[in-house]
Amino acid sequence: MRPPITVGIDGFPESPPAAHWAAREALLRGLPLRLVHAWILLGPTDSDVPPEGDIPRANDRNYWARRLLSDTVGELREAHPGLNVTAELVPRETVPALLTAGRDAEMLVLGSRGRGTLGGFLLGSTGRQILAHGAGPMVLVHADDGGRSAEVTVGPGPRRTSGGAPGFASDEVLGFAFDAAARRGGSLRAVFAGGRRADPAARAALDAALRPWQEKYPGVPVAEDITSERPGPGVVRAAAGSGLLVLGRGGAGHGGAARLGAVLHAAVHHAPCPVAVVPCG
């Protein structure tokens, strides 16, 4: 059985947009959807989602956590006919609960609070830890993301190879981006920011990185965007009008510290569309 798409649910307004995005993605990929709500106060026998019409018991401190999932499941089933959706309450802290859930998922979808700040369970160090240490693709969905464009933008911009020549995104990132564009029936915009438009080395690096994926996905139109802008602003600007921005994430820093880098930091705070973060070597 293929792994599900998993979405983290909490009581903040950012959860419903993330859940609906994840539901559409699950249907697009023919996968089940799994809702996960981390609730540290959960008792050992209280993990079941309450049935519709259930009345809270006196002093049941876990009822509303379970009710949140029950209501979300009902809303998603009504809005997305044919969706296979399950829900789970996890009696753990948010970070370890979602990192564990993400290891068993096709992708982990999280809600964030629009431009400039991260909210809910993505507040401060919590969000950085999830993004920095997640084992598989993670998608951030802003509460105010508008439109569902089929275009996919991929970055993150110039990366030097071991020989000092310009490089581009890894195969993990490009594979995810091309696959997403193909599933949507859309195009792909490849952004090489921080270089020079006329730089033949930048153009050659971009062409070389894209060529095998264009051969694998011949039906996906590709536009190359080489800009002298700094990588963070350049990628955010290029994603305007896209339905998804795909970026790579390297390993954590020394001592396991969460280090996202300037491009990812700019994207998760300011990108005008959902952001997919793909771990890569």
pLDDT at 62: 79
Look at residue 165 and tell me whether its pLDDT is greater than 50: no
pLDDT at 46: 52
CA distance 251 to 271: 22
CA distance 69 to 75: 10
* Domain-embedded: residue 109: yes
Supply 242's token pair: 């896209």
Q: Return the amino acid letter for 105.
A: A
pLDDT-wise least confident of 103-112, 194-203, 253-262:
253-262
SS3 210: helix
CB-CB neighbours of 51 under 10 Å: 7
CB-CB neighbours of 211 under 10 Å: 11
With bands split at pLDDT 50, 70 and 90, how would you rate the model's confidence at 104?
Answer: very high
CB-CB neighbours of 163 under 10 Å: 6
Half-sphere exposure at residue 121, Cβ-oriented, CA atoms within 13 angstroms: 28
Same domain, 162 and 227: yes
How many domains, the chain?
2
With bands split at pLDDT 50, 70 and 90, how would you rate the model's confidence at 120?
Answer: very low
189-209 pLDDT per residue, tens: 999 876 555 567 778 888 888
Same domain, 80 and 37: yes
CB-CB neighbours of 251 under 10 Å: 11
Same domain, 271 and 173: yes
Same domain, 92 and 11: yes
CATH number where 64 lies:
3.40.50.620
C-alpha distances out from residue 116 to 123, 142, 158, 237, Å = 12, 11, 25, 15
What single DSSP character describes residue 225? E
Same domain, 166 and 137: no
Same domain, 270 and 157: yes
Same domain, 83 and 192: no
208-253 pLDDT per residue, tens: 889 999 999 999 999 998 888 888 888 999 999 999 999 998 765 4
With bands split at pLDDT 50, 70 and 90, how would you rate the model's confidence at 158?
Answer: very low
28-61 pLDDT per residue, tens: 999 999 999 998 775 554 555 555 555 555 456 6
pLDDT at 20: 95
Same domain, 14 and 114: yes
* Helix, strand, coil tally for the chain in percent (to 5): 40, 20, 40
CA distance 7 to 9: 6
Longest dimension (CA), the chain: 71
Quick one: which of 105, 104, 103, 71 has its CA closest to 87? 71
Same domain, 228 and 207: yes
For 82, list phi and psi in degrees, rounded to 5. Answer: 90, -5
State the residue range of the domain holding 225. Answer: 152-279
User: Is the torsion defined by CA of 243, 278, 181, 214 positive or negative?
Assistant: positive
pTM over 0.95: no
Q: At what angle do helices 261-270 and 125-133 cross, to 10 degrees?
A: 120
Same domain, 174 and 263: yes
CA distance 150 to 186: 4
In contact, 278 and 249? CB cutoff 8 Å: yes
Report the chain's C-alpha Rg in angstroms: 20
User: Is the torsion defined by CA of 145, 139, 236, 10 positive or negative?
Assistant: positive
